Structure 1
């Protein structure tokens, strides 16, 4: 997502000439279909299409190749010492690149759709690839299938077929992609340990909101990369608009606040809901929040990630932020493997070991020893 922002930023500054899009991969490749490289007139560029082995070749020849319009070019990154110009050290694959001049209605429509995605307006883009006398054509569809842009010679039949295509699937002569909005992350807690987490999420291009009831901590100057910094009032999380597709991290270091936030979030069931704290503390929180929310402990354990973060090792706010961000990213990308999540049996065991009184004051409760 950060790459998309850089590409749109360069486009908006003006003076860009060619957009290169990776549309097909055969074998191994550093980047996947949808990766892009935007070239400027003065040699500047944004984005990447490989691990560095293709950028130089494309930069040198792209303007010449698109002098008569968009073209589809094939590049091999398989190392072959018989080639005069092997591309890099051999990623081991073959890639197809769509090269198109920026100053066309089709390219401008694509870049505009990329820009609108930052504000949450998702779109499906279907591109009919050029070749053998065929010109590049494109349609941009909204979330309800409405046509936002269509090349002038596209028939109603073509537009109807475009609506049935599945983003990410391979189609002969067509490239179909979905421009998603940035992943939203809500960091509930504005302590010093939240700052590296916000920084990392911002580097990933996520839309980040920091919220805390402590006005002295919830200040925008402490979280310069965040999209929003909010002081929570008596209304709780209602004004934040947290949805099921969002990621949320609870890290206030206050047992009472964590309990109230967790009880409010459990019915929402965010895509990722991480709870900072040791296993015993988190188990007590889950047991009480489950009762408040009217859910079983088992249901709650299926909806939260506690102890929070992948078990990467290390210590300190930066290491914890890395572990949390890695787990949240994996979950939001559908790549989550094994984890250290609590089970209902864990909660029962930890609850039986002691009461909550030890946590009824603000304190740091990082899960150092699990």
Structure 2
């Protein structure tokens, strides 16, 4: 969700510099089931251009139409969309459309919040009824400060207002240790998920960041500098150097990090050889650290090509982070999103 909000803010900022008005669209409530859950957002420009989506594409045209009155009047409104009648879904989504104008102070502090990798909250106030009502809109809370997405938003005494509150975690990151072709594929696929990708390579690789289209940076730290990287519980690590010795050295350097996921490319026998060598060099290394290593990295989907292996690895990372065991959705009796 955080990367989507970042994209929306960047879009609105660009439009503002072009003198283009926009509205901010949020799914604030849901009765039944839908393609996506409350908290998903998009923006609509005065020319009908959209960025983001709140469904598979079936609701967006109606949102563009409803947004015109918000752009004209400058007043937020709530609309609903009954998927049971129109698109075969099983729920009704309630959507807030509000004018948006991001202040320079909000944008600057938002950037600082992302760089500091700190959580923040957004509160969206609305009336769960179709129509225009006073006091509706979204407020961003960061480091004890409050920013309205529209400077014209004023607190209302309307007792009918409800609040949808959402916590945003730091942007999810992926550290890829290795600079071969499969690292290129993994980098590109992770970028599509909105993850920030860093490639960690040895100086002798002689490659630049341009070789990895999905990566935001390529770094070549010494093994002794690995523990200085900002690897936290919103960071996944995948070792795919294709070098036995490098994997051993990187794992020893990573022994104290608190990553959300650590994956090791290769077979079961290779994994055992790598871990045994790590234990030979570091006999006091934490067993808990070794047990959290996912090797071979990925889930069993019959992947063969580098692109397919990337899908397998990313699926496992998502499952670990979301605490979900892979299962076919047709075999899952509970909610898809549960």
| Same fold flag (TM > 0.5) | yes
Give the conservation status (yes or no) of the 8 Å contact 1:17–1:63.
no
Secondary structure of 2:30 counterpart: strand
Deviates more, 1:235-244 or 1:48-57: 235-244
| TM-superposition CA deviations, 1:274-321 (whole Å, max 9, x none) | 001110110121233245162354x24431111110111131211111
Deviation at 1:183, TM superposition (A): 0.4
- CA gap of 1:200–1:71, structure 2 versus 1, over 3 A, is same
Give the conservation status (yes or no) of the 8 Å contact 2:187–2:213.
no
Give the conservation status (yes or no) of the 8 Å contact 2:200–2:221.
yes
Tell me the residue number matched to 2:49: 44
- 1-structure distance, mates of 2:109, 2:53: 19
| TM-superposition CA deviations, 1:120-148 (whole Å, max 9, x none) | 34311122224785412554322x5x124
- CA gap of 1:179–1:269, structure 2 versus 1, over 3 A, is closer
- CA gap of 1:293–1:243, structure 2 versus 1, over 3 A, is farther
- CA gap of 1:114–1:180, structure 2 versus 1, over 3 A, is farther
Residues 145-156 of structure 1: pairs in structure 2 closer than 5 A: 146-149=144-147
Compute the RMSD of aligned alpha carbons: 2.9
| Greater radius of gyration (CA) | 1
Residues 265-276 of structure 1: pairs in structure 2 closer than 5 A: 265-276=254-265
- CA gap of 1:103–1:148, structure 2 versus 1, over 3 A, is closer
Q: Gaps (5+ residues) in structure 1?
A: 80-85, 156-170, 339-370
Give the conservation status (yes or no) of the 8 Å contact 2:136–2:161.
no
Aligned residues: 310
Secondary structure of 1:237 counterpart: helix
With normalisation by structure 2, the TM-score equals 0.81
Deviation at 1:102, TM superposition (A): 1.7
| TM-superposition CA deviations, 1:201-234 (whole Å, max 9, x none) | 1111111110111443441121132111011325
Give the conservation status (yes or no) of the 8 Å contact 2:76–2:137.
no
Q: 1:183 aligns with which of 172, 192, 199?
A: 172
- 1-structure distance, mates of 2:283, 2:309: 28
With normalisation by structure 1, the TM-score equals 0.75
Give the conservation status (yes or no) of the 8 Å contact 1:20–1:98.
yes
- 1-structure distance, mates of 2:165, 2:133: 21
Tell me the residue number matched to 1:349: none
| Mapped pair 1:69 → 2:82 | no
- 2-structure distance, mates of 1:49, 1:314: 31
Tell me the residue number matched to 2:331: none
Give the conservation status (yes or no) of the 8 Å contact 1:137–1:154.
no
- 2-structure distance, mates of 1:233, 1:225: 23
Residues 1-370 of structure 1: pairs in structure 2 closer than 5 A: 1=1, 3-14=4-15, 15-65=20-70, 67=73, 69-79=75-85, 86=86, 89-103=87-101, 118-119=114-115, 120-130=117-127, 134-136=134-136, 138-142=138-142, 146-149=144-147, 173-290=162-279, 292=282, 294-295=284-285, 297=287, 299-337=288-326
Give the conservation status (yes or no) of the 8 Å contact 1:197–1:318.
yes
Deviates more, 1:89-98 or 1:287-296: 287-296
- 2-structure distance, mates of 1:69, 1:208: 39
Deviation at 1:270, TM superposition (A): 1.4
- CA gap of 1:322–1:217, structure 2 versus 1, over 3 A, is farther
- CA gap of 1:293–1:266, structure 2 versus 1, over 3 A, is farther
Give the conservation status (yes or no) of the 8 Å contact 1:4–1:47.
no
Deviation at 1:235, TM superposition (A): 2.7
Q: Gaps (5+ residues) in structure 2?
A: 328-338
| TM-superposition CA deviations, 1:32-84 (whole Å, max 9, x none) | 111112111222110111122211111112121562511222221112xxxxx
